[in-house]
Amino acid sequence: MTTSSDLRVLTSLQEIEPFQAEWRRLSSMPENDWEMYWSSLLCQEPAPAPYMVAASEGGRLQSALVGRLEAGHVRLGLGYWKLLRVPVKRIVIPMHGLLGPSGDSTVEAMIDRVVQ
């Protein structure tokens, strides 16, 4: 079971890069492949920041929730009328953004960390 002290939020290449080998070990889908992830960040304008919630045990990455922190808008409207566009920062977790096997309690703890 992962405790909140075993979870870390990483938001830069410098923080995430040491986990590259473990990321590759846990990756199972093209959507969460190391190269695909970084190239998708670099091709967007403006470039979003990486976002990763890492669950480790004994200093070793066991699972991770990976996504990106990007600028966006929330549209507020009434029926078909769009009254307001509010700029926001949003965390986007793509399909298959969960790396490695995770129990329900670990995933719940990771989502709680994202909400915080």
pLDDT in tens, 96-110: 888 888 788 888 899
Q: pTM surpassing 0.95?
A: no
What is the pLDDT, as a whole number, of residue 103?
80
What percentage of the chain exceeds 70 in pLDDT?
96
pLDDT in tens, 24-44: 888 878 777 888 888 888 888
The secondary structure of 44-97 as a DSSP string is: SSSPPEEEEEEEEETTEEEEEEEEEEEEEEEEEEETTEEEEEEEEEEEE--TT-
